[in-house]
Structure 1
Amino acid sequence: MALSEADTRAKLIDPALHQRGWKEDLIRREETDRGIDVIGGKPRRRERGRTDYLLRVRVNISTQPVALALIEVKRNDEPPDKGLEQAKKYAHLNHVPFVYSSNGHLFVEYDHFTGKTSEPRSLEEFPTPEQLQERYEKRVGFSLESEAAKPLLVPYPGGEANRRYYQDAAIRATLEEIAKGEKRLLLFLATGSGKTFIFCIRDTHADAVAIGMNNLYADWCVKNRQQRLEPYVFKCTAAVGGSQYIADLRGSERSHFIATTVDLITTGVDVPILRNVVFFKYVCSFIAFQKEYLRCNHDMDTPPLAP
């Protein structure tokens, strides 16, 4: 009998995980907020991101659980590996090394440490918390019960509700490197900040500005021996389906820094995290200028005064 994803989780996955020792305090289910884009004057709600199961291990009852694995669930009549690529994306966002996709009967595993994907196996063979912890400790080179790992186990002040999944992922990634003995680290937590919009005259102008700035950026990286982050500058106009890049512009801290556009914001795409707005064209309408200005300055209570 075919089951929905929700029934597959409730009737097949939950009992199997509990049987393998994964108690509810070691399982976290999390959803990302559904933002709204306004395209052509019409609101459109973005897809909600869901982590079906985030599996964690705990050294003892007083320590912070450490996330190690993620499971993406598909219907019980789907192939067990159907959700694996999606799960890899979520695993990257959550900073976990063991990635699983399951249809409630079989599962496949992707091991980030080895880069290998397993053959489908029965859910009765799913790793226990102890097995995953042992594999994790072997790969990172320290025990979770060691002195070096203690900062990783400190509970969050105010409880877990006071942090988002990406904050937890960034903090764990940093503390893992410290436990390994790394001396120099750079931690990003201002997700999506520092972005720039350049308003151009027309599509060809936006193309030329993007190409020119990317070439300058590439030269700067070579001169200063810096690794390129791509795309650094990109064209974001309706002609190339610009709305598909808005999520990256909002949320990515490692790409999509500068967008060249013509009138994407004026047609209703709201991007609240811009730091710089550049007008590489004449703005003949003060109403259009006000609209663009306010969309990029949400803390302003009133529009700018007319010159």
Structure 2
Amino acid sequence: MAGWNSTDIPDQTGRTAVITGANTGLGYETARALASHGAHVVLAVRNLDKGKAAADLIVRRYPGADVSVQELDLTSLQSIRAAADELHTRHDRIDLLINNAGVMMTPKQTTQDGFELQFGTNHLGHFALTGLLMDRLLAAPGSRVVTVSSNGHRFGSINFDDLQSERSYSRAGAYGQAKLANLLFTYELQKRLAGTDTIATAAHPGSSATELGRNLPRVVEWGFGLTVQDAEMGALPTLRAATDPTVRGGQYYGPGGFLQMRGYPKLVSSNKRSHDTAVQQRLWQVSEDLTGVVFPVG
């Protein structure tokens, strides 16, 4: 029996999906698949020209596809708030928020608000965006927040004493911390959504050929090359977490092959650290303090 794939996506007509980082790679493949099944897809991107080019490509491939572009820079809280305001104006409800955009193993840098780049972009930016759009998600029956993590969460830990890597910086360590934060956020959000018709899920793409790996050390890039799959396959765990009717809140999906590096998506497990409830709650409070965004749930 073949594994779950894009042909298993239910009809998405009448549903609105906001996808961050949707102009290329996993985000583009996610947007393309949802648009081809009838969703109105919003490409939330930093570069408007690239976003418009991606939207045009989807429409050319699927005439009649409903695709729009929203400027969003996850390294800027000001940009995140502006994007959320525009999305509020255009949409009374949002059925899917897919927190896909990210950076990986970058040289030491900071966001416009002074956060370490990987933690600030991958976690804090999406935390703020989700909180600011939560009322629109709660207005949509059966809505979902899907946050894209990584196998990299397995070597991550949350260093509350040096959250912004000001004392010492490791590309891999900062990436692992950010990807672990994605899961801690998902699990805590799901608890806070109890009693609502909205759920939080997570996914990871395994080893996928995208621009995200451009900062990988050469030896690591070579190792990934032995197991890499294309972005279309890499997007399937996100698509399943977003659309499969059997998915439940707090679940995590990834490739079903060797070491979760490639293959069709299935329900997978995350490490013990990601299920530490005390860390989940502390990270949530720190994230609210840093971003100034307070969720209207929980």
Task: Using structure 2 for the length normalisation, give the TM-score.
Answer: 0.22
Decide which structure has greater strand share: 1
Task: Using structure 1 for the length normalisation, give the TM-score.
Answer: 0.21
Decide which structure has greater helix share: 2
